[in-house]
Structure 1
């Protein structure tokens, strides 16, 4: 009984401490994802990418996130002719 109360107290404490930083963490994760997608699609956008060969394997997994990414980058339509998402 006492152990459960202590666990609940610790959980509540951790939630209170992390609450103000959730937006910052989410923003940083989104920025990292945006940068990763830029690297992934840079060759198709005309920016040389030295690891293009290795990133080809990732396209099927990332294609679902491409639409959200190009909208966040300020592009109304897909900049790539081979990828139709809109």
Structure 2
């Protein structure tokens, strides 16, 4: 039986069952992903660093046949550029046109 809003207000057990399954699913996800969370974060950071290197390759002097297509990604990389070049072991910005330090 539904009320005027179309919700199933006459059967609160349906809502409780859905919340129970959601909590169970979240618990299982935490059980399986929890021990590997740090590894996933490290791999994501490494992948992002590699992507940044590919996009900035032409500016760093590495010939890149796809530079025309990767140039549109440059504005999205500017905000993380400082952290990236510090992680790569470059104390100052390697690019003349990006002065972040």
Instruction: Normalising by structure 1, report the TM-score.
Output: 0.90
Which structure 1 residue ranges, 4+ long, deviate > 4 Å from structure 2?
none
Q: How far apart are 1:44 and its partner, in Å? A: 1.2
Where relative contact order (Cα < 8 A, 6+ residues apart) is larger, the structure is: 1
Paired position in structure 1 for 2:79: 64
* 2:67 aligned residue (39, 52, 63): 52
More helix by share: 1
In 1: Cα distance, 2:18 partner to 2:61 partner: 59
Whose radius of gyration is greater, 1 or 2?
2
Structure 1 residue runs of 5 or longer lacking an equivalent are none
Is the deviation greater in 42-51 or in 8-17?
Answer: 8-17
Q: How far apart are 1:41 and its partner, in Å? A: 0.8
Instruction: Normalising by structure 2, report the TM-score.
Output: 0.78
Structure 2 residue runs of 5 or longer lacking an equivalent are 1-15
Total equivalences in the alignment: 86
